[in-house]
Every structure is written in C-alpha cells, then in structure tokens.
Amino acid sequence: MVKFLLRSAGGPGSGSGLSCPGVRILLALIFFCLLPPAGAYSQDEPQSSPPRISSAAVHFYDFSQWSVIGSLREHRVQGRESLHEIARDYGLGYREITMANPELEPFLPGDGAKVLIPAAKVLPEVPFSQGILLNLAEKRLYYFFQRNGEDLVITFPVGIGVLDADTPGGDFTITARLSDPSWTPPASIRARRPYLPAVIPPGPDNPMGTHALQLSRSSYYIHGTNRPWSIGRRATHGCIRLYPEDIPVLFAMAEVGTPVRIINQPVKIGRREESIYIEVHPEGERASHWRQYLAEAEKILRKKGLEGEIDRRRLEEAVRRGQGFAVLISSGS
C-alpha cells in the first residue's frame, strides 16, 4: 500500500504561532507518529481551503496502482493577498501558481478574484523506495520513505539554480546534516558581491536558513532560506531551497546516506483509475517550443502503450497550454 502526503501550509490569514518552524516541525513529528490506517481518508475529499495547522496538515492518497494524485481547487482572494502568499499557504511554488493563473496579476490579483490551486499532480517515475527525487522542470522535491510497512511520499516546492548556475542533475547522497548552518560565500559570489563577509553566521541574514542537507557533491545543499519569495523560481547558485517551514520537516526525516536523484522531466504522464493525465512544465515562454513537448508526450505514451486511449485534441491543448498541473487527456472520459 502506497500513500501520498501533500504538504499543505496554514490557510489564508493563519498568522499565528503555528508559522514558527519549531512549532511546525513538532506538529509534523507528532503527526507522523499518529498516521491513521490505510483507507481512513477518501481520495478526493473536497476542501474550500487548506487546514490551518501548517506542515503537519497532509492529504492522503493511495497510489499503489495509480500515479495521479490530488485535485484542482479554487481560492478566493482576500483583500490584498498576492499569488505568492496564496501559493505558500497551499504548499505551492511561485511558478506553479502563476502558470496555472496566467490571466491574474501576481502581486495584486484583486479582492474576490478566483485563483486556481493546481494541486493535481502526476508523480514522477519512482526510482527507489526511500530517497529524495527532485524534478528541476517542476521545481518540486519528493521524499519517498517507508513507515509501518507502508510506502509514503511527501512533497515540497523548491527554488533551484539560475540558468548560468543550474542545479546539477544526477545521483547523489546526503553526506551531512547541519542545524543553524553558517554560510561561506564561494569565490564566484564574492567576486560579484565583494562587500559580503567571509562567513555569515546563523540568523535571519543567513541565506541557508535554519537547516541544511549537504549533498555528496559537497558544494551543493538542500537548505532553507531567508527569501521565501524565491521558492518555485530559478533563484539560487545551484543549491535547492525550501520554504522556512518546510526544511525542518525534511531535515527531521532524511538521514545521512539518503539517496538523492535530480532529474529534468518537463512532461509526465500517468493514470488514475481508467483516466489518463498529462502534466507539462515548459521552460520560458509556454508557447515557444510546445511541439517538442508534444513529441516527448507521444514518446511516453508509446512507451506506456497508451496511444489508443487518448483524445488527440485534449493532448495538444494540454501541451500547448503547459500550465503545470495534471490535465485529463483520455478519450471518452
């Protein structure tokens, strides 16, 4: 039995002490000790807004047979909420929410505006039963683990490297776990920003945040941030950033020796029951190279033997729009 845990942060207006990373990690750990039995939750229980208990609030999905989880939701903007604030409340990155809502102004979408919450996801191919899988194309990290005889996964939005300092792909392991890390700016960064000190100590000015997981390519880390607006964007010098409330949860779960695989998979195809879905994450302008994503989708469909089950019009429209969430492409659905 395999279940999915979708990180869901505090709901709109939840500006309480629950936003403190220490409280969030405590709630998460208590929650993991109290996991309910399989089948205790429905697959798509409707919710008008996410629970307000931060990272300890999760949604369960059984995907022992199906690789598509979650469902789309709608959020009504309250006052001067920005899309970034809404994304963080729902455990999404900035690009995820702006791709899903291209018609909305990101900073002031407007009181009462309808925001699509793209919580429907196609899982990447699972390379191991326990470890971290990062998909650069979707700027999202998945941590697969086992508990009480069940296979589980929890997922977080991330910030990754800019194009001229991209996060490297490949296979790594976690070699060290650091609490309250100091940051030593590398020579390449100090050359551009000579005013930086040789070492930045722990604290609110430290760009590594409160926790860090060092990778076997030692200059790269999975860490927190003091710039939460960067999550879901290309914004780092190659490291992988999580929201301040998310990194303590991952840090508590991922041990030294945990395998890490970094991939770049802009097109994912999966199924739930008899329905087939596609999820496309284009780089740059969504319409500029859509035919290359269509060719990749056709290749995956052939490999999975699904060509005869899809609606060609739906497939092309989903690829052309490239909005970064699971879209139905089955024929006759």
- Residues labelled as active-site residues: 223, 239
Closest CA relative to residue 239, chosen from 160, 132, 315, 148: 160
Partners of 6 in the beta sheet?
155
Sheet harboring 267-272: ordered strands across? Answer: 267-272, 275-280, 327-328
| Residue 55 main-chain phi, psi, to 5 deg | -65, -15
Using CA atoms, how far residue 122 sits from 43, 89, 328, in Å, is 15, 21, 11
Chain-centroid distance, C-alpha 166: 17
Closest CA relative to residue 52, chosen from 7, 18, 75, 6: 18
d(CA 1, CA 10): 28
d(CA 263, CA 266): 9
Inter-residue contact 91 to 7 (CB < 8 Å): yes
Give the total residue count for the chain: 333
